[in-house]
Every structure is written in structure tokens, then in C-alpha cells.
Amino acid sequence: MKKQFSNLDKLTLSNDFLFKHVMLRKRICKHILEELLHTEIADITYLEAEQTIEVYPDSHGIRLDVRIADTANTHYNLEMQVKNPVNRATGKFLLPKRTRYYQAMLDTDMLQKGQDYDELSPTYIIFFCLFDFFQDSQRIYTFKKRCLENMNIELADEAVIMFLNTLGTKGDVSPDIQSLFDYINSNTINSNFTREVADTIVEIKNDKKVRDAYMTYEMRMKDLRDEAHAEGKAEGLAEGKAEGLAEGKAEEKTATAKRLLSMGLSVEDIAKATSLSVEQVEKIKAEQI
């Protein structure tokens, strides 16, 4: 029990679990959106915090940290991204296509509720990144669809993706957003707003319901890690077994080729008998000399 509590006490705003709970404080979340978008928002409503949308049974689900709608029916999805994920097999970074998938799932979820295409709500997918994905030092990277032949023409599908680079040095942001970036990076409190965020985090960590939820969260994460480890181990054993069988068959063919060579059969006949190539049999013959 103490170990779980100490783990919770060590969490910072960059942690998914704590980030979600802080963003569930309406005043803080609403203020961040207003400062980012330079607009006033009358009110926000929380949809499904940490919702998993699975459109089809065999589809790849996505976990949404915080999903919000305002009084103008604009939908927001806020995510904390500490690491820059990469596909180990291809070496390609996953974040760009992850945003594409998030957007598709959000839109499909809306349409499943009976809306026509023109009723799709404006959406903002907002990633707080502790790294500079685009390596241009911008504090904010905002993406909308535009015509390549004439960049003044916007598709106007009302879908916006924003990457917030907490390490950025270019581009203007409000003082409160910059102080939030500083707080995410180093827990530095240098504004009334980050003082409010810090005080909120203390309050959250002292909430028994949150502590119980975090213990459940940690156990769930441990189970997922254990499952992934078990699957990886099983795959490794299967691959090892397959490799072992292949090696055994190769050794058996080599032994057969050696016996046939000692009996005086031609290289071509041995190749046909063992399914080895002529070159392989010649190599085995050369090694016997």
C-alpha cells in the first residue's frame, strides 16, 4: 500500500493518469483551451474521459485521455505525449498517423450517433509533447488541410491538429501557456496559473478515490505489461523452435549428402535426392577433401 502511495506522490503533470485528473478540473482545462485558441469559451462539458473507442470488434482501439465539447459543439481531445513512439520494424515515427487515426475514430463515433456528414462537429486534437517532433523549435505546430497548388485555399473541414512543443522557443504563446510549459518541463511555478495547477495536483494526490483509482490503474498497467511480456516470450519460443527445426533439417540433409558422396554418387544426383542446390553439395564435397 505504501509503495503505491509513494508512486502516486512522485507523479508529475506529464504522467497520463495525473494529466487526465488535472484536465478534469473544468476551470483549468477551459482556461488552457481559451489561452491556446485565443477565444472565450462559455462552458465545456466532459464526454468520456479516458474513453476507448472501438468501431469494429477487430479494429485497433484508441484511448482518449480527455474528450471535451464546448457550448458551440466544438470537440476537443487532449493528450499528453512524453515519448516519441517509433515502429521498431520500420523505423518510422508513429505520431503523425496516430493523429490521423484519432481523427477518423472521433468522426466515425459521431456518425454512429446518426449525424449526417455536414453535422460533424469541429474538432481539435491537441498533443502536449515533451519533445520537438518537427525539429523547428516552434512552441505550437497547428495543422489544417490546404491545397498544395494554392496554399490560400483551405479545405475547411473544421478538423485541427495541434502539437504543443513544451521545449519550443519560436512563436508567441500567452504567458500562462508558457508558464504551463515550464511547469511540465521542470515543475517550475512562475505564475498564478501554475500555482493553481500545482495546488490542484496536491489536492488530487490527497484524494482517497484518486489513490484507489491509481492503484487499480497501476495493477491494470502491470497486467498489460505482463501480458505483453508473456506474448513476446511465447513468440520468441515459437521462433526458436522453428529455427531449431530448420537447423535440424539442414543438418540432416548435409549428413545425407556426405553419405551419398562417400558412395560415389554424382553431385547432381545428390542435389536431387536431398533438395540441396548443386552449389551446396559442391561446397560439402570440397569440405570433405
Which amino acid, one-letter code, is at 85?
P
Task: Identify the bridge partners of residue 63 per DSSP, sorted by sequence position.
Answer: 52
pLDDT tens-digit map of 66-78: 889 999 999 999 9
3-state secondary structure of 46: strand
pLDDT at residue 109, rounded to an integer: 77
pLDDT tens-digit map of 102-159: 898 888 877 776 778 888 999 999 999 999 999 999 999 999 999 999 999 999 999 9
What's the grid cell of residue 45?
Answer: 462539458
Quote the percentage of the chain above a pLDDT of 90. 52
Distance CA 267, CA 260 (A): 9
Q: What CA–CA distances, in Å, run from 114 to 72, 108, 119, 120?
A: 19, 10, 10, 10
3-state secondary structure of 119: helix
Q: State yes or no: pLDDT of 57 exceeds 50.
A: no
pLDDT at residue 61, rounded to an integer: 44
Q: State yes or no: pLDDT of 214 exceeds 70.
A: yes
CB count, 10 Å around CB of 197? 22
pLDDT at residue 257, rounded to an integer: 82
- pLDDT range class, residue 11, cuts 50, 70, 90: very high
Q: State yes or no: pLDDT of 39 exceeds 60.
A: yes
Which amino acid, one-letter code, is at 63?
R
Q: What value does the mean pLDDT take over residues 208-235?
A: 73
pLDDT tens-digit map of 226-269: 765 666 555 656 665 666 666 777 788 888 888 877 777 788 88
Task: Quote the mean pLDDT of the chain.
Answer: 84
Distance CA 238, CA 163 (A): 41
What's the predicted TM-score (pTM) here?
Answer: 0.71
Q: State yes or no: pLDDT of 54 exceeds 70.
A: no
